[in-house]
Structure 1
């Protein structure tokens, strides 16, 4: 398989047509090697417009979804990032390439090892992977410039909102099938948040995600 041609086609035929036009994001998706983060048995699907199973009932999100999230976050090199749901480690690698450092929480021990091995093998040194339930965030290292919730939640837990810096951005997939929103929440001032729904999609719910809408802005 010609990985470079497949990567180019992924960007030009899947991601760009879905209104991901930020050249920095497109360049990033051309640079970080997605095929290095998929299970060996699924390498031929690394650039396909599909969710790729990675074990423990979890998946890698579609490339177009990853592109949309990166474009919405507008990462800066000085950003501190918290990711909830490490999965294969690929999205953490994308975040790390644009931010100062990334801390990422994964509830499944098998995926903690999978992601850690993938990141180490690809020389990504500014990511810390830890096992834990991310719904409470990682308060010891808060506040963060960016928080990414990489799976579905019915609502964004207050604990995560409280760990955002003023000016910080949180991205989450909010709702339940058949309709979920890719939602960007910006902390405008202490305790005040602005919400923007960027696109509609459906992604797998995070394990232990709270399932009732108990918070509103």
Structure 2
């Protein structure tokens, strides 16, 4: 994960929804820190609100630095992503989704660009899950091949539909958690506001 730059798309109020007492944005930053990331970029159309959240001290994410980038437009583009860093790979995650850490780890383990989808969502979350779920790992070459002005998520959906990007299917990921000695299906879904 050395050459991967995490990019979070965090707009209020969605990214600041609390799930079990922790905001989705905070939860994602904690997961990224556990994976060994020390830096992340956070795009936001509501930088004052999201910036205030990031400014709050958190021992659980004290080793990761979040660089807030104000975005005047709602849709992130490939060109804007490429301008942020010379990184070769970008882990792009909307902060408006709950995403199991195992699914983000599966994405990060890919050598090529890949998008997270769920071909068979569990019944309890079926009405919440839409494909693509949002998270994707993309390399610089994939971004350069996209339209520089089209919304990234639209281009990602086209890539999935046209099979120009690999898929990490949540339904096919290992669901066994060793330390719990049980099977728990990993899920990724947008949290309703």
Q: Greater strand percent: which structure?
A: 1
- TM bucket (normalised to shorter chain) is 0.3 to 0.5
Q: Structure with the greater relative contact order (CA < 8 A, sep ≥ 6): 1 or 2? A: 2
